Amino acid sequence: MVFSWPWALLSVLIIPLIFAIRWWMRRRRRRAAVRVTSIALVRTALPGRTRWTRKIPAALFVTGLALLAVGAARPQASVPVPQTSATILLALDTSGSMCSTDVDPNRITAARKAAAEFIESQRGGPRIGLVTFAGSAGLLVSPTDDTDALIEALDGLTVGRGTAIGQAMLASIDAIAEVDPSVAPAGANPPGGESGYAGAAIVVLTDGANTQGVDPQTAAQEAALRRVRVFPIGFGSTSPAPMVCENSQFDGRGYGRWDGMSGRGGFDRGRNVRMLDEPALKRIARTTGGSYHRAENADQLQEALDALPGTFTVITQRVDTAAAFAAAGGLLVTAALSLSLWWNRPRPPTR
């Protein structure tokens, strides 16, 4: 907890001052004591309260004053607040290895389905953009809240040669900069002096290692300078499997061959050997303040995507709690005065 006006806490000193005045007044009353001959008369004049009930109003009063003093200092508490204006960039790997069938029916189909379900679950929430990357990276859909347009764009994913993870991250930064003035595009000098993370994040879903273009660690440093966190997801199992894609999933530049027997396209290399560079993905997460997630099948991929929004769409903000302290202090002071007046009300004489 922090205070906007910490000097106002000095008002707590009024409490020991009250005790000092009370002690002084009690001392004066002892000097002015009146002698009486009837003990019964004294008992009748005294309020019918126990020792502890006499102290309750004083304790409530002192506690109330302390709360009012804290409220005067304008305390602020850090609380998690949902951020509906966040921007999420999904960078999807569309390299040839995404045709591996170790995930049914193949990796790219499972990734497309998981991404569609994730986008649907965020309907009405943060803006989402799509970047795809193989040998190069490109913006597929600018950050938008049009869920239907995003899902429709996923239906046209095709695979190609190469894996440009670093370039995909830079393309994602540029896409975020177009809709968020607080984030500078790649290559520009980011504004300084700001703390915390930006209201944007990049999710990189890949099954391989960077093979060309910008080094991923260089791109991660660019993201960190802009306070943009990156959450890499390593997708695929360690089991070699045939690489088979539907003919419509090829990029049309002769990357695959047509398998007439199965009615699907397949790669000449036959079986896939998993080349996921987990150490590099973990370094990206550490550099940017994100986290790395591992998904060997479609269910784990869906779980990883579902767990992410709570990480980057909920931010910590400082909320002024002075009103709460003032209200609580006022109630306690009122209760103390009310109890004191009630217990010290005039009593009818007893016969």
- Specify whether 335 is located in the same domain as 274: no
List pLDDT tens digits, range 176-231.
999 988 899 988 888 766 667 888 899 999 998 999 999 999 999 999 999 999 99
List the one residue out of 52, 71, 59 whose CA is nearest residue 18. 59
Place of tokens 């002015």: 32
CA 90 to CA 251: how far, in whole Å? Answer: 20
Series of mean pLDDT values for 10-residue runs along the chain (351 residues): 71 75 72 55 54 71 78 73 74 94 92 95 90 95 95 92 95 94 86 74 94 95 94 91 80 45 42 75 95 94 86 63 80 79 64 52
- Specify whether 288 is located in the same domain as 330: no
- Specify whether 38 is located in the same domain as 90: no
- Specify whether 190 is located in the same domain as 271: yes
Pairing of strands 87-93, 127-133: parallel
Tokens of 296: 């060997």
Q: Give residue 224's Cα distance to chain centre.
A: 17
Tally the residues of the chain: 351
- Specify whether 73 is located in the same domain as 96: no
- Specify whether 227 is located in the same domain as 115: yes
Domain that includes residue 47, residue range: 2-78+319-343
Q: Assess if residue 32 is contained within a domain.
A: yes
CA 299 to CA 114: how far, in whole Å? Answer: 9
CA 280 to CA 150: how far, in whole Å? Answer: 29
Cα–Cα separations (whole angstroms), residue 296 to 85, 206, 281:
31, 12, 15
- Specify whether 155 is located in the same domain as 283: yes
List pLDDT tens digits, range 262-299.
334 444 444 555 578 999 999 999 999 999 999 999 99
Q: Assess if residue 177 is contained within a domain.
A: yes
Q: Assess if residue 348 is contained within a domain.
A: no
- Counting the structural domains of the chain, the total is 2
Q: Assess if residue 350 is contained within a domain.
A: no
Contacts 24+ apart (CB under 8 A), 56-60: 56/336, 56/339, 57/336, 57/337, 57/339, 57/340, 57/343, 58/336, 59/336, 60/332, 60/333, 60/335, 60/336, 60/339
